[in-house]
Chain A
Amino acid sequence: MKPAPFAYLRPATLEDALAALAGQQGAKVLAGGQSLVPLLSMRLAAPSTLVDINALPDLGHVTVTGDGDGAGDGVRIGALARHAEVLASAEAAASQPLLAMALSHVAHPTIRNRGTTVGSLVHADAAAEMPMVLRLLEGSVDVASVRGRRTIPAAELFAGPLESTLAHDEIAVEAFFPALAPGAGVAFQEIARRHGDYALVGVAAHVETEGGEVTRARVGFVSVSDVPVVVDVTGAAQDPEGDPAGAALAELEPADDIHATSAYRAHLVKVLTPRVLADAVHHARQRSAQGKSA
């Protein structure tokens, strides 16, 4: 099928883009189009106007701020930075290693060449890796509208299935992924039918350690619920007899769909959670050891 007709604008400034969105209730932003164009072609979306942001200046950046020790340190990703550009940034991977770990699972390289990381966050697909990663890392998204700018913390970004809390006239201009603190570690694994497919289940862990002991452990899940979810499993991770996967499953209701049954998803959560936690603890200890020797 082909898309239904729509009007098209390709503004050259952010101000013009915001004015265009504010003037039209049915207008939508076009970024990489890797989620939106299929929806248009399948006629699951029929916006009156598309506001193409690809000609806007100064939004293609992947910038690392700070030296890794402060609260504002991390990776700032502009709305037009493609997944491939974020994945290719060695500075970004050094500041927050989970970015590259997760991005290598986002679709195929061909899709990553066009799709944007910020677009994937706004699209808010629970089967997508980066919304969960933003939540797990407690990052945020900066959005602009004719009314001004605001910062949306990750915990407040995801409203429901494929629904973010941006207003219809807001453009996400930048995402912020905090740097990995000293003594912290991360890991990511996912099971998909074929490499590059959406995950049946994906799991990421973020742990903080002091003197090699876990002080905080959180796990995030892709494709398990209908929104990106993160569960704190610190207690279970600290207890040698603990069952972090059980603790996580108590908070989750794995979904049933054509790709996998809820029982199979629960099984994958049980298998992947301890593995990914162990990897993250190992990563944290390795980084602490390197930090001392450096």
Chain B
Amino acid sequence: MTTSPEELHDVRLHVNGSVHEVRVPARRLLSDALRHDCGLTGTHVGCEHGVCGACTILVDGKPMRSCLMLAVSAVDAEITTVEGLTEDDGTPQGRLSPVQQAFSDCHGLQCGFCTPGFLTTITAGLAENPDPTEDEAREMIAGNLCRCTGYQNIVKSVLRAAELGKGEE
């Protein structure tokens, strides 16, 4: 049997304010393109069918599952990954965003596998609702699974991030 080589597509991805030109087969999941073709390994892949939330990125500011998008279909989108959440303060590593700082303050992560998906989801959630109640904080993260930290500290992190976002130190 002869197999013809798989057709490759030139795709221009806009990620964290930079342009990445990648050559990928149509079946390349956006999560894999970000990790392997763009080298942005902050986006994690758990279940690969939309359930765990680890791969959540922002597409035009809205959280979406990168494992449920094809890289070829993401051409017109402005993508933000967890790497793009850090704020520029002139230093090479940048400054943690309020949500990232809150996770650090409240022990919102243990192994960190699920964390990129929580950070992106909560960043968008707080942009929509800057002052959530505890119930709303729980609802905000209901689509993300964490297997080790437990949700208590993650809920605390959401509420803390809301405070930090309002400049309450």
Q: A: which residues have CB within 8 A of B?
A: 1-8, 10, 30, 33-34, 37-38, 40-42, 50, 52, 54-55, 84, 107-111, 113-114, 194-196
Residue of A nearest to B9 (CB): A8
In the complex the two chains form, what is the Cα distance from A1 to B69 in whole Å?
A: 15
Q: How far does the Cβ of A170 sit from chain B's closest Cβ, in whole Å?
A: 21
Indicate if B127 sits at the interface (CB-CB under 8 A): no
Q: Across the interface, which residues of B come within 8 angstroms of A2, CB to CB? A: 27, 29, 32
Q: Is there an interface contact between A38 and B50, defined as CB atoms closer than 8 Å? A: yes
Binary per-residue interface labels of chain B (74-104) against chain A in the complex, 1 for a CB within 8 Å, 0 otherwise: 0110000000000000000000000000000
List 9 A-B pairs, minimum CB-CB distance, nearest first.
Answer: A108-B143, A8-B26, A38-B49, A3-B27, A37-B68, A113-B62, A110-B63, A114-B64, A110-B143
Q: B: which residues have CB within 8 A of A?
A: 6-7, 9, 25-27, 29, 32, 48-50, 53, 56, 59, 62-65, 67-70, 72-73, 75-76, 121, 139, 142-143
In the complex the two chains form, what is the Cα distance from A34 to B56 in whole Å?
A: 13
Q: Is there an interface contact between B72 and A8, defined as CB atoms closer than 8 Å? A: yes
Q: Is there an interface contact between B143 and A109, defined as CB atoms closer than 8 Å? A: yes
Partner of B139, one of A10, A40, A195: A195
Q: Evaluate whether A37 and B63 lie within 8 angstroms (CB atoms) in the complex, with A110-B121, A110-B143, A195-B139 already known.
A: no
Q: Is there an interface contact between B56 and A110, defined as CB atoms closer than 8 Å? A: yes
How many residue pairs, one in A and one in B, have C-beta atoms under 8 Å apart?
87
In the complex the two chains form, what is the Cα distance from A50 to B68 in whole Å?
A: 14
In the complex the two chains form, what is the Cα distance from A108 to B59 in whole Å?
A: 16
Residue of A nearest to B56 (CB): A110
Residue of A nearest to B145 (CB): A194
Q: Across the interface, which residues of B come within 8 angstroms of A194, CB to CB? A: 142
In the complex the two chains form, what is the Cα distance from A7 to B76 in whole Å?
A: 20
In the complex the two chains form, what is the Cα distance from A63 to B149 in whole Å?
A: 44
Q: Across the interface, which residues of A come within 8 angstroms of B48, CB to CB? A: 1, 38, 41
Q: Across the interface, which residues of A come within 8 angstroms of B69, CB to CB? A: 33, 37, 114
Q: Across the interface, which residues of A come within 8 angstroms of B142, CB to CB? A: 108, 194-196
In the complex the two chains form, what is the Cα distance from A6 to B63 in whole Å?
A: 27
Q: Across the interface, which residues of B come within 8 angstroms of A110, CB to CB? A: 53, 56, 63-65, 121, 143
Q: Evaluate whether A30 and B73 lie within 8 angstroms (CB atoms) in the complex, with A37-B67, A114-B64, A114-B65 already known.
A: yes
Q: How far does the Cβ of A205 sit from chain B's closest Cβ, in whole Å?
A: 25
In the complex the two chains form, what is the Cα distance from A8 to B67 in whole Å?
A: 17
